[in-house]
Amino acid sequence: MQIFHNWSFDGHLLANHGIEILGHRSGDTVHMARLWDTSRQGRGGYKLSSLMQDLLGWGKTDMKEVFGRFKLKKDGTPGKVVYLPDSLTLQTDPNVTMFEKWIHYSTYDTICTWYLYFSLRKELENMSWSPDAIVYENELLKMRADRTLFTFYDCFWRPFGQILTDMERKGMYIDKDYLYQQAEKAQEDKEKRTESFMQWVRSLCPDGKYININSNPQKRHLLFSSITEPDDAGSREPHMRTFQVDNKVEEEEEREEEEGEEGEVLFLSPPRSKRSISLLGLALTPVAYTATGQASTAGQVIQKLAGKPFASPPSYGTAFKDLGGGEEGKAACEALASLLEGEAIEKLLSTFLLPLPEQTDEASRIHTSLNINTETGRLSSQRPNLQNQPALEKDVYRMRKAFSAPPGRKLIIVDYGQLELRIMAQMTGCRSMLDAFEQGGDFHSRTAIDMYRYIAEAVERKEVLLEWNSHDGAPPAPMLKDKFASERRKAKTLNFGIAYGMTKMKVARDWGVSLEEAEETIQTWYSARKEVKQWQEEVIERARRTGYTETFLGRRRYLPEINGRDGVGRGHAERAAINTPIQGGAADIVMMAMLKLRGEERIRRLGWRMVMQIHDEIILEGPEETAEEVFPLVRACMEQPFDSPLSVELPVDGSIADNWYEGK
């Protein structure tokens, strides 16, 4: 019997030393604890010490407290900062007491994990589990009589945990040269784009050329700060503020030039790493405020200030008027638009293009950590996060091309269509949604037909088409999603928004309509989907009564705030109560699909392995020769994650590709 507290960590560590652990892994106490209580983050989390304290009342000191050492200062004396030396240093410490401490600590750790398993197991065994009957035919589940949350753990999450560890270990192949090449391109583009912004700032105040476009405080000050409080003489001065910024390359070049002219001595004084700059506030009108009440500098805000100065004809944003129009206003809008473009590229560079190639192993593969650590049961991906790689039009440097199959191999990339909406239809039993899915075609267009009588009439008179196969030539009438694009967009927003508990305030603000109008639109959506409203009310009511909400595989999320006195917290808990069954239900389905995939001997024998999961998408890698054979098998697993079908189909789209970009 093997028990681990975070098997993924220990497993990789052992494997890296050539040690393979055979036999039955009975449990991972991190996953068990997460299943027991999803919301311990901020209440001690899932650390062994905190769980031991809360479940068994056992004290346990953190490693840092026992083995931490003071970091040495430059002069060799101990400083205040405590750090934890690596395990090899600790194990080989010549001090015998340290060695004994190490043995004691490790032993105690092991004992804790052992007792924690049985404690958590007991907790889970005392929690009822009533999933939808469809899962009762699952191979593992069939063989046992118990039906508690521990059963769920043992039959589903325990093997799922092993799948995740295998995926982490396998990793994804990255084309590093391609990334370097794209990063260079991005760097050039960024400089080109920000040039006009930098020049504009320079024209406003002399220190403007040193502004750091990554600093929100600096941007906020430059754009929105106005005048200071009146001084003793009662006069107001334009607001100046100083910032510390890094010395840029240009400054060092200037120094070298100056000193070069002098001829002899270079670097008389060491280069300063920081310099003070003063920026003058422009007093533009803020468009939005952050949670702490400061003027926001988010992209949407800058967009509103700038307008579309490069469009033809150009349209100028709010900065134009604020600066008195004319050439000055125009220059500001153009500069801000260029800032936006530069910022977008900077984001891609600093988060994706530059760090990724640094994080590969010697085989050019990248190993993310896949955690079951969310409130809803979704996975998260860390160090690096591979679940937020730029997609579609945001992927201007074609990042996803770097995630590729090594020579001789292929990727199979598959994803569910409208998974969450289908689960919503399934759980609510909403006739209108189920019908729309049965009829097929574009779901959001069908919602638009439901909501707007004139669209329904146009469809009836065949003035617009709901769908058209482009193989049959040009469509005989315009498409609904083109002709009624804005209605379809609204329908789409509601389809998603309502699943999350969107309110009329958000609708009114996002669409720029009155509260009454927003309310009416929401009512129209609900009027054809009464089952949804009823389901949401029931779910919230049940959550108030039981203290938790659950997915249809019977996983719970406790919502202590749902009966609290804090209105904001209560509102959030209510929205979480209706969203978690949907988001978590989707996570359950993908997990079941992955278990089924892992159990398909044929797929495995042909050498195919899962390498990534992105919530409703799975990526496998395997030999080129068998891709065609394996692809339909993969699809079948995903479309039938359970032994008996749901009341909605779960269609899966996908392709065989050389890289992630092609897969879309």
The reply on whether position 384 binds DNA by CB under 7 A is yes
37 versus 93: smaller Cβ distance to DNA: 37
> What are the DSSP E strand ranges found in 138-268?
172-173, 240-246
Minimum CB separation of residue 19 from DNA in Å reads 27
407 versus 512: smaller Cβ distance to DNA: 512
| Residue 308 near residue 314 (C-beta atoms within 8 A) | yes
- Residue where the block lists tokens 């609510």: 428
**SS3 labels along 279-339:** EECCCCCCCCECCCCCECCCHHHHHHHHEECCCCCCEECHHHHHCCCHHHHHHHHHHHHHH
Which residues, including other chains, have CB under 8 Å from residue 650's CB and lie 6 or more apart? 416, 419, 422, 589, 638, 639, 640, 641
290 versus 626: smaller Cβ distance to DNA: 290
What is the sign of the dihedral through the CA atoms of 511, 513, 515 and 518? Answer: negative
Minimum CB separation of residue 422 from DNA in Å reads 13
| Out of 71, 192, 321, 383, the residue judged to bind DNA by CB under 7 A | 383
101 versus 506: smaller Cβ distance to DNA: 506
141 versus 577: smaller Cβ distance to DNA: 577
Which residues, including other chains, have CB under 8 Å from residue 375's CB and lie 6 or more apart? 38, 39, 557, 576, 580
Q: Measure the CA–CA gap between 454 and 457, rounded to whole angstroms.
A: 5
**SS3 labels along 360-381:** ECCCCEECCEEECCCCCCCCEE
The reply on whether position 661 binds DNA by CB under 7 A is no
| Out of 54, 93, 109, 395, the residue judged to bind DNA by CB under 7 A | 395
**DSSP code of residue 215:** -
181 versus 296: smaller Cβ distance to DNA: 296
Q: Measure the CA–CA gap between 221 and 282, rounded to whole angstroms.
A: 8
Minimum CB separation of residue 497 from DNA in Å reads 4
Minimum CB separation of residue 567 from DNA in Å reads 5
140 versus 344: smaller Cβ distance to DNA: 344
Restricting to residues 209-228, which ones interact with DNA according to CB under 7 A? 212, 214-218, 220
The reply on whether position 493 binds DNA by CB under 7 A is yes
From residue 241 to residue 260, the character string flagging contacts with DNA as x (rule: CB under 7 A) and all else as - is --xxx---------------
The reply on whether position 567 binds DNA by CB under 7 A is yes
| Out of 68, 314, 475, 497, the residue judged to bind DNA by CB under 7 A | 497
Q: Kind and range of the H or E element at 570? A: helix 567-599
Q: Measure the CA–CA gap between 394 and 155, rounded to whole angstroms.
A: 40
Task: Give the total of residues touching DNA (CB under 7 A).
Answer: 71
Restricting to residues 305-334, which ones interact with DNA according to CB under 7 A? none
The reply on whether position 501 binds DNA by CB under 7 A is yes
Stretch that binds DNA, among 168-176, 250-258, 500-508, 544-552 (CB under 7 A): 500-508
φ and ψ of 467, to 5 deg? -150, 160
| Out of 203, 388, 523, 527, the residue judged to bind DNA by CB under 7 A | 388
Q: How many CB atoms lie within 10 A of CB 469?
A: 7
Q: Which of 421, 453, 420, 447 is nearest to 432 (CA)?
A: 447
Which residues, including other chains, have CB under 8 Å from residue 509's CB and lie 6 or more apart? none
337 versus 459: smaller Cβ distance to DNA: 337
The reply on whether position 158 binds DNA by CB under 7 A is no
| Out of 148, 187, 503, 626, the residue judged to bind DNA by CB under 7 A | 503
9 versus 102: smaller Cβ distance to DNA: 9
From residue 349 to residue 378, the character string flagging contacts with DNA as x (rule: CB under 7 A) and all else as - is -xx---x---------------x-xxxx-x
Residue 424 to residues 131, 202, 482, 502: CA-CA distances in angstroms?
A: 16, 54, 27, 15
42 versus 76: smaller Cβ distance to DNA: 42
